[in-house]
């Protein structure tokens, strides 16, 4: 059984914020002029009382506006239990006075239960009930009538004392027949309601105070249950509010002693009527309310509350006692025949985007359902329709279609909960443009995005989710849209942590590292321009590499000197010229050429190697000279973002720039969320300015200083934009430290599209398995990156307008920004494990 926990009609009652006059002036406006003077005093005090008693002035004003939007007699029917007039008359009177003073005219109908029994006892008459109905013989009737008139007078008098004009209406409204003359005697069944006495009272500015006495056409008084009479009034007037005041403040669950907060009749009525404590008056009351609500709009409800809570019930969103409404009965159907009305099903299916767009017809979908085991969930009018298809793998929520009112009334939640009870695992696919994406995220434990669609799931083991993603991924291959390499994976709950294993890694990261070495042979590296910081770092790395050996180091300045930091062999710097290089290439003495020269000078060397044309050796160029190559000869070697297989197959690799590497890694995962120009503020240590003396590597000048330079059109700005495929603004700076870059990237995103947590998840998933990229929730600091081989990405701050995200990234410009990345490319190109020789835990 599904209980609709929330009081959804309360949510519906939420009204647009409106410029309503102040409460006090609203009261005066609504007052007939003649009563202004007398009302002034009590109005003020009741308004004060109101504002003290209940939630917020905003709510009060909204509800006042709502209540005054209909004719006065349609505001509310309030049924007052007999015991309230005895025990809580001042509270009741002041409450009604308040409503009156703010211009609201509830129709008040009261009972007289407890007083009658007292009087009957005094007169020696034994009270007698059958099925909760008082058997009313003529002696009892005399007592009942006397009692009603007394109670009515007490209430009217109390109201008049508070400056409220109240009109006793003790007859003339309810026409009745005998309910069962033999059984109950003078008990009536209402056959007609005469509205005119009530309307006349309200028109004249009086609160109508009714008893539940009815008359036969010949004028015989008949006793009618007050709940029933109130229900008849409500049917006649269709008021915005139907309120039953009782001293218990709601319906009390007889088994637990707790107040029942809400009852959804469609779903709960049958079971409720079977509960042992539901008998006599309670049973009659619930049945009466049930019957009444069948005839009112589905949005109508009956509130059963204590008089002290009346204002709260009327003027706040939270309400007070027991709220009874029809609610939504959920129905499971397992075959098309179960749906009964085919038009209902068709209407529901027409909400499906695929069907709406014409890609799928209702008829063909129905045919699919005919031949497929499925289970459907829906409310009776199919405001929400969910279809779960059970195939061989994970059960799939094939359709989840809701009308606006289904979302508003929370039927969607109830349906989803009931699916969840039946299925401990489930998957479903939603378009990334779906208006309710956030809701789907909240229902899922993991997700995977591709080509505008998002695959969601819950309850899956890492293997299952990994297989599911593979399947989903495969279903997109060959699709016209599948050129994009982007793939964001989100996870909506902590459980996603459990997925951080290799199975998931393979599927989440579309371009996983190539860690296996396929080449057992050693290889010889020649380093041209070995003097710079990058060259030195690369030499150290090669020294620790299991298979690489240095055959030549060339540097004009260092020629003749012994190579430091290299222990595998004694090597002396040479000064290789173009012809030497050509000769070495012809002799096949070098497997890998590394060009570590300044920009713009390596072309003659490359051309020399090219001219030999044997195609055996490979080149990695560290300069910017071939990063923008359009001949197709050169491959851009950023393994985490480029196709690694392509790098492995390349013979000419241009090594990315340091700033450019970090900026691309920091921005790429958000590519499809970007809604404006990403800007990155980069600060590098002065080793980035090279070894040639300049102010940018002058430690004294940098002391207590920061130097902005090349603020537009820096070559790395061009590189970042060119490789990412969209413009990025980059503003470089040099600072006083030696090595390490800090990037602070600001990225405009579509408002509200991502939370900080979503973003972090996107990065974590995108870089799963990458040993040279760490994703952290903290802000990475440049001092921690110095000497490390990877990139650290963190920050992930989203501004309060939710349209901009800030990401920090740090990289050691000499390592992952140059030498380490170069070694990654060498490894890939030579068929070694990508991380061979790279201390990945540093
Ligand atoms: C809808 O139901 C869920 C529980 O299923 C509840 O948390 C949420 O507050 C409800 N929303 C509304 C608007 O009633
Ligand atoms: C009353 O309490 C019993 C026992 O906890 C429970 O089974 C039943 O559903 C409750 N009824 C209502 C209407 O809340
Ligand atoms: C591309 O490389 C080949 C050899 O690998 C060379 O012959 C050719 O000239 C190169 N093309 C350009 C435009 O550099
Ligand atoms: C990345 O995280 C690993 C594991 O915590 C750590 O050993 C390594 O030093 C980190 N890398 C960087 C570049 O900070
Ligand atoms: C990192 O980004 C945050 C915003 O997320 C910013 O406030 C901070 O200054 C940045 N830190 C560094 C070290 O760049």
pLDDT digits (tens, 9 = 90+) for 309-327: 888 777 765 556 888 888 7
Nearest bound ligand to the CA of residue 784: 4
Residues 112 and 250 in one domain: yes
Q: What pLDDT score does 640 carry?
A: 95
Among 471, 491, 513, the domain-final residue is 471
**β-bridge mates for residue 325, sequence order:** 264, 301
- Ligand 4 atom closest to 780 (CA): 14
Strands 133-134 and 166-169: unpaired
- Angle (CA) 189 192 193, round 5°: 115
Residue at 215 is within a domain: yes
Find the ligand nearest to 619 CA.
3
Q: Do 645 and 692 have their domain in common?
A: no
Q: 623 and 645: one domain? A: yes
Q: Which ligand is nearest to the CA of 635?
A: 3
215 and 353 together in one domain: no
pLDDT at 320: 67
The answer to whether position 29 is within a domain reads no
| Band of pLDDT at residue 62, cut at 50, 70 and 90 | low
Nearest CA to ligand 1 atom 1: 410
**720 with 728: CB under 8 angstroms?**
yes
* Burial (0-12, 13-18, 19+ Cβ within 10 Å), 549: middle
658 is catalytic: yes
Q: 795 CA distance to ligand 4 centroid (A)?
A: 16
Query: Is residue 486 situated within a structural domain?
Result: no
| Residue 338 alpha carbon to ligand 5 centre in Å | 59
What pLDDT band is residue 8 in, cutting at 50, 70 and 90?
Answer: very low
Residue 485 lies in a domain: no
The average pLDDT across 250-272 equals 86
Check pocket membership of 631 for ligand 3, CB cut-off 6 A: yes
CB 652 within 8 A of CB 492: no
Q: What is the CB < 6 Å shell around ligand 1?
A: 5-6, 8, 11, 410, 413, 417
Q: Which of 356, 531, 366, 347 is nearest to 434 (CA)?
A: 356
- Residues 629-636: contacts with CB under 8 Å, at least 24 apart: 629/654, 636/723
Q: In this structure, are 318 and 360 located in the same domain?
A: no
- pLDDT single digits (tens) 543-556: 999 999 999 999 98
Same domain, 362 and 431: yes
pLDDT band at 826; cut points 50, 70, 90? very high
Measure 281 CA to ligand 2 centroid, in angstroms: 18
Nearest CA to ligand 3 atom 2: 633
| 641 and 670 housed in the same domain | no
> 169: part of which helix (H) or strand (E)?
strand 166-169
Select from 772, 788, 794, 817 the residue to mutate for testing ligand 4; criterion: most ligand atoms less than 8 Å from CB.
788
Whether residue 667 sits in one domain with residue 648: no
pLDDT band at 448 (very low <50, low <70, confident <90, very high): confident
As for how many domains the chain has, the answer is: 4
Whether residues 466 and 401 fall in one domain: yes
Between 821 and 64, where is the model more confident? 821
Same domain for 441 and 321 = no
How confident is the model over 387-406, as pLDDT tens digits? 999 878 899 999 999 987 77
Of the candidates 616, 634, 654, which is a domain's last residue?
A: 654
Residue 263 has pLDDT above 90, yes or no: no
The finding on whether 795 has its CB within 6 A of some atom of ligand 5 is yes
Instruction: Flag whether pLDDT at 34 surpasses 80.
Output: no
Distance CA 228, CA 251 (A): 17
**741 and 685 in contact (C-beta within 8 Å)?**
yes
Ligand nearest to the CA of residue 629, numbered in listed order: 3
479 exposure class (CB count in 10 Å sphere: 0-12, 13-18, 19+): exposed
285 vs 522 pLDDT, higher one: 522
Return the pLDDT at 792: 96
CATH of the domain at 650: 3.40.50.720
Low-confidence winner among 165-179, 500-514, 639-653 (lowest mean pLDDT)? 500-514
Q: What is the CATH number of the domain that holds 128?
A: 3.40.1160.10
Q: Whose CA is nearest to atom 6 of ligand 3?
A: 610
**Residue 49 domain-assigned (yes or no):** no
Spacing, Cα 434 to ligand 4 middle (Å): 38
Whether the CB of 256 sits within 6 Å of ligand 3: no
Percent of the chain whose pLDDT exceeds 70:
87
Check pocket membership of 570 for ligand 3, CB cut-off 6 A: no
Rounded to the nearest whole angstrom, what is the distance from the C-alpha of residue 445 to the centroid of ligand 1? 19
Give the Cα separation of 381 and 122 in Å (integer): 55
Residue 774's CB is within 10 A of a number of other CB atoms, namely 17
Q: If pLDDT is split at 50, 70 and 90, which confidence band does 54 have? A: low
Q: Is residue 595 part of a domain?
A: yes
Q: Decide whether any atom of ligand 2 lies within 6 Å of the 261 Cβ.
A: no
Domain for residue 496, yes or no?
no
Question: Ligand 4 centroid vs 563 CA: distance in angstroms?
Answer: 30
- Mean local confidence (pLDDT), 219-232: 92
Report which of residues 35 and 384 the model is more confident about: 384
Q: Which two tokens stand for residue 255?
A: 């088994």
Q: What is the mean pLDDT of residues 36-56?
A: 52
The residue nearest atom 1 of ligand 5, judged by CA position, is: 808
| Confidence tier at 755 by pLDDT (50, 70, 90) | confident
Inter-CA distances, 595 with 82, 538, 686, 723, Å:
98, 11, 22, 21
Domain that holds residue 807: 658-813
Q: What is the mean pLDDT of residues 407-412?
A: 75
Q: What is the mean pLDDT of residues 62-71?
A: 75
**Whether residues 321 and 334 fall in one domain:** no
Secondary structure element (H or E) that encloses residue 611, with its range: helix 603-612
Which backbone phi and psi does 33 adopt, to 5 degrees? Answer: -55, -35
Q: Looking at the predicted structure, is the pLDDT value of residue 713 above 70?
A: yes
What pLDDT does residue 259 have?
A: 84
Residues with CB under 6 A from ligand 4: 774, 785, 788, 790, 792, 841-842
Same domain for 259 and 122: yes
Question: Using CB atoms within 10 A of its CB, is residue 21 exposed (0-12), middle (13-18) or buried (19+)?
Answer: middle
The ligand 5 atom nearest the CA atom of 744: 14
The region of weakest confidence among 6-10, 186-190, 633-637 is: 6-10
CA of 713 to the centre of ligand 5 (A): 23
Q: Residue 31: inside a domain, yes or no?
A: no
Q: Please state, rounded to an integer, the average pLDDT across all residues of the chain.
A: 83
Helix, strand, coil shares of the chain, percent, nearest 5, are 40, 20, 40
Mean pLDDT of 175-198: 94
- pLDDT average, residue stretch 171-180: 94
């Amino acid at each position: 059984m599904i209980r609709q926990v929330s009081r959804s009609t309360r949510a519906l009652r939420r009204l647009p914020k409106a410029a309503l006059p102040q409460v006090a002036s609203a009261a005066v406006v609504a007052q007939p002029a003649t009563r202004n003077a007398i009302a002034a005093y009590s109005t003020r005090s009741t308004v004060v009382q109101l504002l003290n008693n209940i939630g917020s002035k905003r709510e009060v004003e909204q509800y006042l506006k709502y209540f005054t939007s209909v004719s006065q007699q349609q505001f509310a029917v309030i049924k007052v239990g007999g015991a309230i007039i005895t025990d809580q008359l001042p509270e009741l009177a002041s409450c009604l006075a308040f409503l009156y003073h703010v211009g609201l005219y509830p129709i008040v109908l009261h009972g007289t239960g407890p007083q009658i029994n007292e009087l009957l006892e005094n007169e020696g008459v034994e009270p007698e009930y059958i099925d909760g109905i008082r058997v009313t013989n003529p002696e009892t009737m005399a007592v009942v009538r006397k009692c009603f008139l007394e109670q009515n007078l007490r209430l009217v008098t109390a109201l008049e004392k508070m400056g409220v004009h109240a009109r006793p209406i003790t007859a003339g409204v309810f026409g009745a027949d005998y309910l069962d003359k033999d059984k109950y005697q003078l008990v009536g069944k209402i056959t007609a309601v005469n509205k005119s006495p009530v309307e006349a009272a309200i028109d004249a500015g009086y609160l109508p105070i009714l008893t539940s006495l009815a008359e036969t056409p010949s004028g015989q008084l008949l006793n009618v249950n007050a709940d029933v009479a109130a229900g008849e009034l409500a049917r006649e007037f269709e008021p915005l509010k139907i309120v039953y005041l009782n001293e218990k403040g709601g319906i009390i669950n007889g088994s637990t002693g707790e107040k029942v907060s809400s009852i959804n009749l469609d779903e709960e009525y049958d079971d409720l009527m079977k509960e042992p404590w539901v008998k006599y008056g309670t049973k009659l009351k619930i049945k009466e309310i049930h019957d009444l609500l069948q005839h009112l709009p589905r949005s109508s409800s009956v509130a059963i509350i204590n008089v002290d809570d009346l204002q709260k019930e009327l003027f706040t969103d939270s309400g007070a006692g027991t709220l009874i409404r029809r609610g939504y009965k959920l129905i499971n159907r397992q075959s098309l025949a179960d749906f009964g009305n085919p038009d209902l099903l068709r209407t529901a299916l027409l909400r499906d985007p695929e069907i709406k767009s014409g890609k799928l017809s209702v008829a063909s979908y129905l045919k699919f359902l005919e031949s497929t085991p499925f289970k459907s969930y829906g409310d009776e009018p199919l405001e929400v329709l969910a279809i779960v298809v059970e195939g061989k793998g994970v059960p799939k929520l094939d359709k989840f279609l809701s009308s606006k009112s289904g979302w508003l009334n929370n039927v969607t939640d109830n349906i989803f909960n009931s699916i969840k009870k039946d299925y401990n695992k489930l998957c479903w696919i939603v378009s990334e443009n779906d208006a309710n994406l956030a809701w789907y995220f909240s229902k899922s434990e993991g997700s995977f995005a591709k080509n505008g669609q998002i695959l969601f799931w819950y309850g899956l083991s890492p293997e299952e989710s990994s297989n599911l993603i593979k399947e989903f991924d495969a279903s997109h291959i060959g699709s016209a849209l599948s050129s994009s390499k982007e793939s964001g994976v989100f996870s909506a709950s902590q459980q996603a942590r459990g997925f951080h294993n290799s199975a998931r890694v393979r599927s989440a990261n579309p371009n996983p590292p190539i860690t296996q070495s396929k080449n057992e042979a050693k290889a010889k590296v020649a380093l041209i321009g070995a003097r710079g910081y990058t060259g030195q770092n690369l030499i150290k790395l090669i020294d620790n590499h299991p298979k690489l050996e240095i055959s030549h180091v060339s540097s004009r300045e260092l020629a003749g000197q012994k190579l430091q930091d290299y222990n595998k062999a004694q090597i002396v710097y040479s000064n290789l010229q173009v012809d030497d290089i050509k000769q070495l290439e012809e002799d096949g003495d070098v497997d890998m050429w590394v060009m570590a020269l300044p920009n713009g000078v390596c072309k003659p060397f490359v051309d020399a190697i090219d001219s030999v044309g044997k195609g055996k050796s490979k080149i990695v160029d560290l300069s910017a000279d071939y990063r923008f190559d359009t001949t197709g000869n050169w491959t851009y070697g950023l393994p985490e973002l480029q196709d690694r297989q392509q790098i492995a197959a390349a013979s000419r690799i241009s090594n990315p720039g340091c700033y450019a590497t970090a900026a691309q890694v920091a921005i790429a995962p958000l590519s499809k969320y970007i809604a404006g120009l990403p800007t990155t503020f980069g600060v590098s240590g002065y080793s980035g300015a090279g070894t040639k003396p300049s102010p940018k590597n002058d430690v004294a000048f940098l002391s207590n200083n920061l130097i902005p330079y090349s603020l537009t059109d820096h070559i790395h700005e061009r590189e970042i934009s060119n490789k990412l495929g969209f413009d990025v603004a980059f503003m470089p700076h040099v600072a006083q430290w030696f090595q390490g870059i800090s990037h602070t990237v600001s990225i405009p995103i579509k408002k509200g599209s991502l939370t900080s947590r979503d973003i972090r998840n996107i990065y974590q998933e995108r870089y799963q398995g990458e040993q040279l990229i760490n994703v952290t929730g903290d802000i990475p600091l440049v001092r921690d990156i110095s000497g490390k081989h990877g990139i650290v990405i963190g920050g992930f701050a989203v501004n309060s307008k939710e349209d901009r995200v800030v990401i920090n990234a740090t990289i050691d410009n000499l390592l992952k920004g140059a030498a380490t990345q170069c070694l990654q490319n060498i490894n890939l190109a030579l068929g070694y494990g990508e991380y061979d020789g790279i201390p990945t835990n540093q």
